[in-house]
């Protein structure tokens, strides 16, 4: 009797035991597959979150710290600005890898010039941006043309339209 014949006779002679062993092997394989899928999903989610973290530090004019905090955390409009020349000085500082200018704007409450009231807007430089683009669902490719904007999940045009009015100008979502 060969080893193969002996193994075949052993398997056919103990059907219940072999069924239990096969079921355990199947369950173990399913568990390994499930665990792999969960780990890969968590890894992908973690990578996306790291990409979306954006800037380590936000540079604002001296004395504007509280204003930017309330603007970023609570969406309260704030008024301050920095000259464009500061950008190159900040980029030249040791430890600074990337800089990207942004301009924060807000629409007026209940004004006829804006179709969405109390909307928080960010104007950014797509060539140097690393904080806005990771949040976009799809890449802009050639960027935005004049009169085009990207809206967040709560910004929408009226039904059947693709435009909203911002300070009297129609922009396409």
Is pTM beyond 0.75? Reply is no
Decide if pLDDT at 97 tops 70. Answer: yes
pLDDT top residue among 159 and 15? 15
Which residue spans within 69-126 are E strands per DSSP?
102-106, 120-124
Looking at 14-23, 65-74, 149-158, which range is the least confident one? 149-158
């Amino acid at each position: 009797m060969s080893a193969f014949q002996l193994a075949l006779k052993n398997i056919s002679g103990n059907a219940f035991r072999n069924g239990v062993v096969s079921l355990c092997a199947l369950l173990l394989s399913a568990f390994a597959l499930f665990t792999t899928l969960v780990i890969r999903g968590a890894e992908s989610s973690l990578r996306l979150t790291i990409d979306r973290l954006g800037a380590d530090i936000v540079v604002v004019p001296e004395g504007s710290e509280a204003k930017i905090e309330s603007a970023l955390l609570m969406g309260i409009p704030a008024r301050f600005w920095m000259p464009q020349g500061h950008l190159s000085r900040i980029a030249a500082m040791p430890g600074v890898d990337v800089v990207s200018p942004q301009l924060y704007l807000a629409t007026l409450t209940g004004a006829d010039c804006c179709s969405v009231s109390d909307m928080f807007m960010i104007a950014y430089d797509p060539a140097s941006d690393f904080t806005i683009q990771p949040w976009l669902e799809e890449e802009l490719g050639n960027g935005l043309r004049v009169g085009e904007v990207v809206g967040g999940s709560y910004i929408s045009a009226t039904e059947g339209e693709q435009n909203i009015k911002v300070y009297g100008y129609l922009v396409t979502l």
